[in-house]
Structure 1
Amino acid sequence: MLFLVRMDVNIPHDLPAEQAEAIKAREKAYAQQLQREGHWRHLWRVAGEYANYSVFDAASNDELHGLLSQLPLFPFMKIQVTPLAQHPSAIA
Structure 2
Amino acid sequence: MEPPRSHGGSAPFRGVASSLQKEFNAMLFHVEMDVRIPHDIAAEKVDALKQAERVHAMELQRAGAWRHLWRVAGRYANISIFDVSGAQELHDMLSSLPLFPFMEIKVTPLCRHPSSIHDDDR
TM-score range, shorter chain: over 0.9
TM-score, structure 2 as length reference = 0.75
Aligned to 1:40: 66
Q: Which runs of 4+ in 1 moved over 4 A?
A: none
- The CA distance in 2 between the partners of 1:63 and 1:71, in whole Å, is 13
Aligned to 2:111: 85
- The CA distance in 2 between the partners of 1:8 and 1:55, in whole Å, is 15
Residues 1:60 and 2:90 aligned together: no
| Number of residue pairs aligned between Structure 1 and Structure 2 | 92
Residues 27-49 of structure 1, C-alpha deviation per residue, up to 9 Å, x if partnerless? 00000000000000000000000
Q: What's the secondary structure of 1:5's corresponding residue?
A: strand
Residues 12-60 of structure 1, C-alpha deviation per residue, up to 9 Å, x if partnerless? 0010000000000000000000000000000000000000000001101
Unaligned residue ranges in structure 1 (runs of 5+): none
- The CA distance in 2 between the partners of 1:46 and 1:60, in whole Å, is 25
In the TM superposition, residue 2 of structure 1 has moved relative to its aligned partner by 0.2
Q: Please provide the CA RMSD for this pair.
A: 0.3
TM-score, structure 1 as length reference = 0.99
Bigger Rg, which one: 2
Taking every aligned residue pair, what percent have the same amino acid on both sides?
62
Higher strand share: 1
* Higher RCO structure, 1 or 2 (CA under 8 Å, sep 6+): 1
Unaligned residue ranges in structure 2 (runs of 5+): 1-26
In the TM superposition, residue 62 of structure 1 has moved relative to its aligned partner by 0.3
In the TM superposition, residue 8 of structure 1 has moved relative to its aligned partner by 0.2
